[in-house]
Every structure is written in structure tokens, then in C-alpha cells.
């Protein structure tokens, strides 16, 4: 997918009120994923006033686990030319996991802004702890600045729609999504087979 412009008059320094604009783009991608049966997690990479990467999670579509929205959006952005990585922002509708935080650091993205907190596997706090005790003289990846929430209610509504549309407490994706919105599912009468249907990490 090619990069899609956002008006540079609306997105300039990617800070403050402009974060709502970037997050709305991520929410649009999450909505598209939801209509395809995916968890409603969307991510966009915005740099120099334009989107250089966008994706929703694709665990269902690809039947794989290493296809988080942030990872796919960063991969698309990494293939694009001519964008200022350190001034770029990754907008994601869910607090990123450790894998995606590491991928953002490797891609040298300057900021991450998330909408909905993930108590189970969110790694945002690590961004403030990563450099503690490390010598400034050592070359090591510098984690992006991580902030949130932005547009929390809209992201929560998407997760609630995902859970309400299924209502199968034996589905590990549904059970995990329910915890994200603070509604733990009812106990399962028959535990799922972990070999055939692993509980998602996000």
C-alpha cells in the first residue's frame, strides 16, 4: 500500500492536539480490521505530514501470531523512502506489546501514541525504564517516547463491539479482548486446546 497524504496544515509537529488527527487514522484502520473479523487494532506511521505505513492486525487473516498492527505498519514504512524517522510518530489503538515497542525502536521512530491501555502485555512503561543504569557512551537502541491515552473511548468502543458480536467465552481472542475493556469473561466450561487455539499475547 502506498503512502497516503494527511494535510501538512493539520499534522505539523505531531504533538498536542495533532495527536487526535493521527489517532483517528489509526482508528479508521482498526474499524476496517473489525469488519474483516480481526481484533480492532490499527496502527499508522506518520512522518512529515503523511502516512508512510498503515495496517490492522491480521492474526485471523494470516493465521499467524507475528502480524500485529504496529509491526505491519512499521514494516510498510520501512520500505518507504524519504521520511524523517526520528520525527515520525507511530499511532496505535492499543498500547504496544514488547515486540512492537522493540520494532519501533529498531525502526528509529521518535514517538509512539496509543489509545487504549493493555494491562496484560502493554510495554509502554519500559520506554521510561530502558535507559536507567545504562551508560550514555554505550551504543544501544533508544526507545521512542511513549504517551497515551488518546481517543481512549473510541478504541474501547471498538473492542466492546468485537466482544459483543461474538460472545463466545471459549474463544481466546474474545476472552483477551474482554479483559482490555475491563469486562473479564465468564469462566469456561471446557478449556480450549492450547495446541490448536493458543491464547493471543495481544
pLDDT at 101 over 60: yes
Size of the chain in residues = 202
pLDDT at 201 over 70: no
Per-residue pLDDT, 193: 54
Q: List all residues 6 or more positions away from 19 whose beta carbon is below 8 Å from its beta carbon.
A: 89, 91, 113, 147, 150
pLDDT at 184 over 70: no
Under a CB-based contact definition with an 8 Å cutoff, are residues 93 and 118 in contact?
no
Per-residue pLDDT, 170: 84
C-alpha 157/C-alpha 115 separation (Å) is 11
Active-site pick, 70, 76, 152, 186 = 70
The rounded mean pLDDT for the chain is: 84
User: Is there a catalytic annotation at residue 10?
Assistant: no
Q: List all residues 6 or more positions away from 194 whose beta carbon is below 8 Å from its beta carbon.
A: none
More confident call, 186 vs 61: 61
pLDDT at 15 over 50: no
pLDDT in tens, 102-149: 999 999 999 999 999 999 889 888 877 776 766 767 776 778 999 999
Under a CB-based contact definition with an 8 Å cutoff, are residues 45 and 109 in contact?
yes
Beta-bridge partner residues of 51: 4, 46
Q: Kindly report the CA angle at 180 between 32 and 161, in degrees rounded to 5?
A: 40
Q: Quick one: what percent of the chain has pLDDT higher than 70?
A: 78
Per-residue pLDDT, 143: 84
pLDDT at 79 over 60: yes
Amino acid at each position: 500500500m502506498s503512502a497516503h497524504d494527511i494535510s501538512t496544515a493539520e499534522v505539523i509537529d505531531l504533538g498536542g492536539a495533532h495527536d487526535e488527527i493521527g489517532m483517528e487514522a489509526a482508528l479508521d484502520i482498526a474499524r476496517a480490521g473489525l469488519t474483516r473479523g480481526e481484533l480492532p487494532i490499527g496502527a499508522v506511521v506518520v512522518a512529515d505530514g503523511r502516512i508512510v505505513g498503515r495496517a490492522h492486525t491480521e492474526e485471523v487473516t494470516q493465521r499467524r501470531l507475528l502480524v500485529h498492527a504496529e509491526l505491519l505498519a512499521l514494516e510498510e514504512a520501512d520500505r518507504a523512502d524519504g521520511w524523517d524517522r526520528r520525527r515520525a510518530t507511530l499511532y496505535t489503538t492499543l498500547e504496544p506489546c514488547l515486540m512492537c515497542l522493540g520494532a519501533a525502536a529498531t525502526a528509529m521512530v521518535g514517538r509512539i501514541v496509543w489509545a487504549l491501555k493493555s494491562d496484560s502485555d502493554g510495554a509502554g512503561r519500559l520506554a521510561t525504564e530502558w535507559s536507567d543504569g545504562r551508560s550514555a557512551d554505550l551504543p544501544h537502541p533508544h526507545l521512542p517516547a511513549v504517551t497515551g491515552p488518546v481517543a481512549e473511548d473510541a478504541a474501547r468502543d471498538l473492542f466492546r463491539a468485537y466482544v459483543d458480536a461474538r460472545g463466545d467465552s471459549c474463544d481466546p481472542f474474545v476472552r483477551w479482548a474482554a479483559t482490555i475493556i475491563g469486562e473479564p469473561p465468564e469462566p469456561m466450561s471446557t478449556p480450549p486446546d492450547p495446541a490448536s487455539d493458543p491464547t493471543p499475547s495481544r
